[in-house]
Chain A
Amino acid sequence: MMQRNRFSRVLKVGLALAGAASVLAACGSSSTASTSSTTKTAAKTPVVPLVVYGAEGYAPAVAKGFQQATGIPTEMVNHSTGTLLAKISAEAENPQWGVFWSDGSDAYAALDQQHYLLRGFEPTTGTLTSLGKSLVPADGSYIPTGITIAAAYVYNSKVTKNPPTSWSSLLTPAWKGAIGMNNPAISGPTYTAVASIMQQQGGVTQGEAYFKKLAANGLHIYSTNKVTLHALLAGAIKVALVQNSAGIGFAFTSPDLKVAYPDKSALLPGVIGIDGKAPKAEIAEAKKFADFVYSPKGQALMLSGDPHGDSLFYPIIEGTKAHSEVPNLKNIPTDYPNPIVWGSREATINAWFTNNIVQ
């Protein structure tokens, strides 16, 4: 009897908590509702949402075009390569993605070694150029979709009249404290550039010695392409070693920016991987997605989806032409470090780079 009053108060409290819980539950149920509605459609036709993890700037445009063309509901998760790889690693045995599309084949080779990727599928909607064919892995575990250059020299042509021409020239006093690059542990494409430089120097040990000399000559390290280019625009450095598409893209808004190429620079393929552990229906859709990318419509969307960024790539499908701002690839000496060899070294080289060059 004495507790009656207290009960009514506790009741209010309980209701408040229940209210909070029901808000949570409501949010949950709204998403559950949407899932169940898609499951219902799935019962009628074998259509499940295709989840695309894409780091390419044009990926959202291509995904939208794919949905319109096929009616397959396509959900885009658009982040940087690093974020997506962290998500994929953390999701491990219960992967939530159907298609993964980003730059750099090294990570795909490593994913394949861990049996994440569907093997042996090649799209048939377009014919690869001979260069494109050379990028296809022996087990068909990933699908090349285009090429950029992993590290080009981007500079302000008003300040820098004679840009560096080789990797060794960066070690001279002329470039002391003037060079900036990304940390390969954070910027995916930069790892390919580091691998290529190490290979050109004659191996990992010689490569490490080269980077130590470069650091001694006042190398600046930033996180990603845009930060390094920002440092260049602000005058903190004279030459930025970044992905060439980023440099050409920035030149649209900063016409004084020019791009030069070192004695040998790394080819960086844009790559699609299909989740080998996805449900059968989603794998089938993922294959259709890759087919769509190789089709003329898909190629057109790749070229138009991110006009001042990733769309400035070298196509590898017969009949597709690069934008006019992109210099002819034949005039650029290139290198392609074997992704199977260098992919497995990625973690150790990145850790070494962070411990010895960054800090």
Chain B
Amino acid sequence: MVVALIERPIEQPERYERSGSVLSRWLGRLAEFLGWPIFWVVLVVVLLVPTACFLILAVSPRLFDQGSAWFTVNAFREALTGVTLQGMADSLVVGILAALLAVAFAILLAWLLQRTNVGGRRLWSISIWAVLLVPSYIIAVGWQVVLGQGGVLAAVGLYSPIYTKIFFGPVGYTLVLAIKGLPFAYFAVAGSIAALGSSFEDAARVHGGGRLTTLRVMVPMILPSIFAGLIVVFAESIADFGTAAVIAPNAHFPIATYNLYVALSSYPANFGVAAVIGLMLVAAVAVALTLQKRFLKSRSYAVLGGRTRSAKQTRLTLRGQLIALGVLVVVFFVALGVPILGALVSSMLKPFATLSLRNMTLSAYRGLFGISGLGSSLGFSFKLAVLNGFLALILGTVIARRLSRRGTKLIDKLLDVTVLAAIALPGLVLAAGYIFAYNLPILSSLGIDIYGTVLILIMAYLAGALPSTTRVLAGPLAQVKGSLLDAGRVHGAGLTQSWWRCAIPLLGPSLLWAWLLTFAATFLELPASELLAPPGTQPVAVAIISVLGKSNLSQGTALSIVALLIDLGMIIIISLLFRFLAPKGWRRLGANVL
């Protein structure tokens, strides 16, 4: 396992050594010599260079042939006024609110699903994945269809313009972002809550603590995960574009990503202003991360060790069951039910018809069979998503472990900044950065012509996935006690082996989620696919957009639904395989999440 590289070597007694051939020893030396450099080269090439290129553009447009000035602060002057500045402020406020809301509900869900015997746990777990997969614009459109004139509420005589007014504003905006953030927050905290074991809880109880005291004991233990959740949701929210595209134009509520999109879409594109907005988004997450670091540095949160026992489930009373189920039904109706209802209605309702079963038709779905080239789009995106899942998992684990160590060196700080830079950068900026970085004439003259190839698309997918994969893994990895690995090594296991046999089983489910998360996000990724896919190829998201652009709107929606079902089907199959095929130890802790 690659993680082994980042552990400090422990001097081993001679008697535990095993023999190895001269060849493997030499190869080993070579690998040690090349290991970290390869890791850094991959990181720099995939993430640092494209991001930096776009951000440098803000001050030096001439470098990239986007203006006459070698150095200018005009873009800052332009971006730090009026609507652009207001948009930044709005984004920060809704980002913070959405993060708090998402994490609060994530903790509630995680406790219900991990630590109680609430009914239908598997169904609810799959629903969380479904929320993750539904793109934010579909959530926004779904709510719009339900609340709008001629929508679902109007069909039952409950339409009021007040709903639409509330929805097209800060409230609706925060709601959609919180829904979109819920799965990220859940994945960040659920693993810790599941793996925590009940010994701490029991201890609090034994010492006479009531429910509130127990909560006070428990919450600080999962603080790293809570912070991880808050940061991921905050960063994803301020960088989200789908919600902005649907809500911002009609809300008269400026939002940073919408301003950025407008700056990039106009002709001639204002890359300078887009870069400054990107920089400010990055800075916002940097501040949040610094606060998190300062807070977490004060003590250790390593609680997962060899003695951790899996938690006992709380058996709910009948009344408890009913209340818990009620909460779950409401949460998932808001997060998933309404958007799905909205999407189904817009894919099936005949135009201008009132909402009733008679006016529903499946013709849009039948029409999908006639779209040529769709099969190859699905196959293309599927292959790249599987590949990217593994690449992001390997690199993400290494980075997450490195970030979770205390007492960081300068290079670790650099790593941190690199990864956080990308998490707050909207996909469009990253994709445009790739063009600036890899289409420089100097590269062509050196014979490096990777722009316009599949390779550059894979690199961009990896760069897009790494930040969130890393953040999701950071919480669980921070909880692995160093003593656990030491124990493994005292018993004669090597570094790799002690990781493989002691730590990985604890992390198994988290690693699997991270892979699935990357797979799902890559399968339907849009901005990089649009700007970087080589001529003649069409990733799924681009195919959906092109069908939506034709006169048949319902067909576009139908295709989105089918693509989502494929995505979700894959997740169900993989998690079932994990359930039946993974070693028992891997499934023991936290496996309920799947």
A residues adjacent to B (C-beta < 8 A): 1-18, 20-21, 23-24, 27-28, 30-32, 35, 49, 51, 57, 75-80, 82-83, 85-87, 89-94, 96, 106-107, 110, 114, 156, 158-159, 183, 185-186, 188, 220-224, 226, 229-230, 233-236, 246, 249-250, 252-254, 256-257, 306, 308-309, 346-347, 350-351, 354-355, 358-359
Q: Which of B12, B542, B553 contacts A229 (CB 8 A)?
A: B553
Q: How far is the CB of B63 from chain A (nearest CB, A)?
A: 11
Task: Find out whether the CB atom of A15 lies under 8 angstroms from the CB atom of B66.
Answer: no
A residues in contact with B82, CB < 8 Å: 355
> Which of A10, A185, A224 is within 8 Å of B32, CB to CB?
A10
Max count, chain B CB within 10 A of own CB: residue among A30, A89, A223, A350:
A89
Which residues of chain A are within 8 angstroms of B261 by Cβ–Cβ distance? 186
Complex Cα–Cα for A17 and B398 (A): 11
Q: B580 an interface residue at 8 Å Cβ cutoff?
A: no
- The yes or no answer to B530 lying at the interface (CB within 8 A) is yes
Contact B264 A86 (CB under 8 A): yes
The answer to whether B592 has its CB under 8 Å from any CB of chain A is: no
Determine which of B2, B453, B535, B552 lies in contact with A16 in the assembled complex, contact meaning CB atoms within 8 Å: B2
- Note all chain B residues with C-beta closer than 8 A to A7: 20, 24-25, 28-29, 31-32
Binding site for A on B (CB under 8 A): 1-2, 4-5, 9, 11-12, 14, 16-20, 24-25, 27-32, 34-35, 38-39, 42, 64-66, 82-83, 86-87, 145, 148-151, 245, 248-250, 252-254, 259, 261-262, 264-271, 346, 351-352, 387, 390-391, 394-395, 432, 435-436, 439-441, 444, 449-455, 458-459, 494-497, 530-531, 534-536, 538, 542, 545-546, 548-554, 556
B351 contacts A347, C-beta separation under 8 Å? no
Per the bound structure, the CA–CA distance linking A153 and B185 in Å amounts to: 46
Q: Are B245 and A236 in contact (CB-based, < 8 A)?
A: no
CB-nearest residue of chain A to B273: A351
Residues of chain B contacted by A158 (CB below 8 angstroms) = 352
Min C-beta distance of A66 to chain B, whole Å = 14
Closest to A346 in B: B267
* Chain A residues whose C-beta falls within 8 Å of the C-beta of B11 in the assembled complex: 2
B residues in contact with A35, CB < 8 Å: 449, 453
Q: What are 18 A-B interface contacts by the 8 Å CB criterion? A: A4-B18, A6-B28, A7-B24, A9-B495, A17-B38, A79-B530, A83-B265, A85-B265, A86-B531, A90-B269, A92-B65, A94-B440, A221-B250, A226-B548, A230-B346, A234-B150, A246-B551, A358-B248
A37 to chain B, nearest CB (A): 14
Which residue of B16, B39, B552 has the most chain A CB atoms within 10 A of its CB atom? B552
Give which listed residue, B150, B254, B269, B497, contacts A85 with CB less than 8 A. B269
Cα A223 to Cα B34 in complex, Å, equals 49
Q: How far does the alpha carbon of A12 sit from the alpha carbon of B27 in the complex, in Å?
A: 9
Having A8-B20, A14-B28, one finds 7 other A-B pairs with CB under 8 Å, namely A1-B14, A4-B19, A6-B9, A9-B495, A14-B31, A23-B391, A230-B553
Asked, given contacts A5-B17, A8-B25, whether A359 binds B151 with beta carbons under 8 Å apart, the answer is no
Given A5-B18, A13-B1, A79-B542, A110 contacting B268 (CB threshold 8 A): yes
Question: Inside 8 A of B268's CB, which chain A residues have their CB?
Answer: 89, 110, 114, 346-347
The 8 A-B pairs at the shortest CB distance, nearest first, are namely: A14-B31, A7-B28, A235-B150, A75-B535, A31-B453, A254-B351, A249-B551, A28-B455
Main secondary structure on A side of the interface with B: helix
| A90 in contact with B439 (CB, 8 Å) | yes
CB contact under 8 A between A5 and B550, given known A27-B455, A358-B249: no
* Known interface pairs A8-B24, A221-B250, A355-B83; A186-B262 also in contact (CB < 8 Å): yes
- Look across to chain B and name the residue whose beta carbon is closest to the beta carbon of A113: B268
Q: How far is the CA of A306 from the CA of B547 in the complex (A)?
A: 11
Distance between Cα atoms of A79 and B531 in the complex (Å): 9
With both beta carbons as reference points, the residue of chain B lying nearest to A87 in the complex is identified as: B531
CB distance from B132 to the nearest CB of A (A): 25
Our pick among A2, A4, A250, A308 for the contact of B25 (Cβ within 8 Å) is A4
Contact of A20 among B391, B545, B556 (CB under 8 A): B391
Closest to B141 in A: A230
Residues of chain A lying within 8 A (CB to CB) of residue B1 = 13, 16
The reply to whether A253 and B254 contact each other, CB–CB distance below 8 Å, is no
B352 near A156 with CB under 8 A, answer yes
Q: Which of B83, B249, B269, B452 contacts A221 (CB 8 A)?
A: B249
Q: In the complex, how many angstroms separate the beta carbon of B244 from the nearest chain A beta carbon?
A: 10
Known: A14-B31, A87-B531. A6 touches B25 (CB 8 A): no
Q: Which residues of A contact B391 (CB under 8 A)?
A: 20, 23-24
Cβ-defined contact, A93 with B435, below 8 A: no
Query: Which residues of A are found within 8 Å of B435, using beta-carbon distances?
Result: 87, 90-91
What is the minimal beta-carbon distance from A251 to any residue of chain B, in angstroms? 8
Contacts of A13 in B (CB 8 A): 1-2, 4-5, 31, 35, 496
Closest chain A residue, CB of each to CB of B64:
A92
| CA of A14 to CA of B475, assembled, Å | 26
Complex Cα gap A5–B266 (Å) = 59
How far, in whole Å, are A249 and B549 apart by their CA atoms in the complex? 11
Q: Which residues of A contact B271 (CB under 8 A)?
A: 89-90
B458 and A27 within 8 A (CB):
yes
For A233, give the chain B residue with the smallest CB separation: B351
Q: A89 to chain B: which residues have CB within 8 Å?
A: 66, 267-269, 271
Task: Give chain B residues whose Cβ lies under 8 Å from the Cβ of A20.
Answer: 42, 390-391, 394-395
Q: How far is the CA of A75 from the CA of B537 in the complex (A)?
A: 9
CA distance A86 to B4 in the complex (A): 43
Q: Are A185 and B25 in contact (CB under 8 A)?
A: no
